[in-house]
Amino acid sequence: MRHDLVLRVVGKLLIPFILLFALYVQFHGDFGPGGGFQAGVIFAAGMVFYALIFGLENARRVMPDRLVETMLAAGVLLYAGVGVAGLLLGGNYLDYFVLDRNPVLGQHRGIFWVEVGVAVTVCGVMLKIFYMFASRGGADGQGPQ
């Protein structure tokens, strides 16, 4: 697919909007349906689309394996860190109301950071799974073309 001009042009037009939609889902998740899991999957889907059009090696230059593996741990640490912050501030684990003087703002802040942690982890997991399967190669042993 790397040599299909129409697909490459359409991909270059669509991929930024896919990633922008992932950010919208992430930031709007506090107020409506959606949130970290959906945003992480949408962002990863945009990167998989990029890899299918422009090749796996180009995708690995944009999102290297080291970054993807760091995302796996960073998201979980962020999620757990919000819980520990609640403990250190005198509440229970993942008690968000202690994260701000105003309990409502504390709830909002806690949910936001937990959802960011979920999005980062889910995106990293989805990309890691894709990279692992894609690097195994196709019928000709060359991977996605």
**Of the ranges 27-36, 64-73, 88-97, which one carries the lowest mean pLDDT score?**
27-36
| Most distant pair of Cα atoms in the chain: their distance | 61
The rounded distance, in Å, linking the Cα atoms of 101 and 117 is 23
Percent residues over pLDDT 70 in the chain = 89
The rounded distance, in Å, linking the Cα atoms of 36 and 142 is 34
**Residue 119 · residue 21 · CB < 8 Å:** no
Span 70-116, pLDDT tens digits: 999 999 999 999 999 999 998 899 888 888 899 889 888 888 899 99
Q: How confident is the model at residue 141 (pLDDT cuts 50, 70, 90)?
A: very low
Distances (CA, A) of 106 to 82, 87, 92, 139: 11, 13, 13, 53
Which pLDDT score, from 0 to 100, does residue 29 have?
Answer: 72
Q: Is pLDDT larger for residue 113 or for residue 31?
A: 113
The rounded distance, in Å, linking the Cα atoms of 36 and 44 is 12
pLDDT above 90 for 30: no
The rounded distance, in Å, linking the Cα atoms of 127 and 71 is 10
Mean pLDDT computed over 59-74: 95
Which of 113, 133, 135, 119 lies closest to 19, judged by CA? 119
Q: Tell me the pTM.
A: 0.84
Q: Angle at the Cα of 43 (from 64 to 84), degrees rounded to 5?
A: 85
- Helix ranges (H only) for 1-145 are 5-28, 36-54, 56-62, 65-88, 103-134
Which pLDDT score, from 0 to 100, does residue 96 have?
Answer: 86
